[in-house]
Homo-oligomer: A and B are copies of this chain.
Amino acid sequence: MRVVGTFAGARSLRAGITGLVPTMGYLHEGHLSLVGIARERSDTVMASLFVNPLQFDDPSDLDRYPRDFDRDAALLELAGCDVLFAPPAAEVYPAPPLARVVVSGLTDTMEGPRRPGHFDGVVTVVAKLLGGLQPDLAVFGRKDAQQLVVVARLAADLSMPVEVIGGPTIREADGLALSSRNVFLSGEERRAALGISRGLMAAADAAEAGERSGAALEGLVIEEMSRQALDIEYAELADAADTARLLVLDRPAFLAVAAGSGRTRLIDNVWLKPDGTADRGARLGRPSVLYGGGD
């Protein structure tokens, strides 16, 4: 695996179909599964590792975002990555970024109003990665459901010749969705956090059993989360095309949740089809590499 710090250097290492997996590092099996998807579809697999200051609405969140470059590089190489693009901030933002990309509409719900400026930062850095690295495909996690919809629309609206692919959420054996932030959870906070995935699985069960009411599906998640010491921000059934709240599951959708456990904010979701079929993600058989078992 080659490690490069410039857009031009990374671009020059593309050969054949190139697949990109953008990350902010502190990798877990969720990221590595995206590398696997890119590997199946690409001649050259490129990952990017950049903790983008522009998308942190809370500076203290940026400061405490976990980092471990050497471990990340080792994990990416094991997963089959060919090129790691790890730019310094000065390569990504050589000057204050006067040009910004915004995606309106899709960012008005859920994460948008709760993290002011977050999506503008995400969209701008993703536009730079897609425009500056020119991959043929880019793989994003379905765990960041709204982000995936926004990024796909960004690429389409800006006529970028890139296919945006969503990869399934990877979960611990007990259901907790993998997140770099999970390392912040105390044992008690982690137990409480399980209410999120339990609620989503209950809603997925109900959808598969025929429930189509948005309020009923959302209610099942909230009921399960309310049993735990969680700071519930939202549970919304959202149209997968435009992220608008759905009253009835009559088109592709995702049921998305945000909740705080202690100081740590977590998001999770299941994707639902109008026939009730659910994409609940995949579960690991052993603890994640996040907890020190992987390197």
Contact = CB atoms under 8 A, between A and B. Distances in A.
A127 B98 CA distance: 14
6 contacts: A95-B156, A99-B158, A100-B104, A128-B159, A132-B161, A134-B161
Contact of A7 (B8, B94, B99, B161): B161
A274 to B, nearest CB: 21
A201 interface: no
A193 to B, nearest CB: 33
A75 B105 CA distance: 42
A190 interface: no
Contacts of A246: none
A103 B101 CA distance: 9
Nearest to A124: B158
B11 A161 contact: yes
Nearest to A128: B159
B92 A98 contact: no
Contact of A131 (B8, B95, B103, B159): B159
Interface in A142-163: 153-154, 156-161
B101 A158 contact: yes
A105 B98 contact: yes
B100 A102 contact: yes
Interface centre among A8, A156, A157 (most CB of B within 10 A): A157
Contacts of A106: 98
A103 B159 CA distance: 19
A159 B92 contact: yes
Contact of A158 (B103, B132, B156): B132
A196 interface: no
A123 interface: yes
Given A131-B159, A131-B160, A159-B92, A102 B105 contact: no
A102 B123 CA distance: 12
Contact of A99 (B92, B98, B99, B101): B101
Contact of A98 (B8, B128, B157, B160): B157
Given A130-B131, A132-B159, 10 more contacts: A7-B159, A8-B161, A94-B156, A98-B104, A98-B153, A98-B157, A99-B156, A99-B157, A128-B157, A131-B160
A30 to B, nearest CB: 26
Interface in A94-140: 94-95, 97-106, 123-124, 127-132, 134
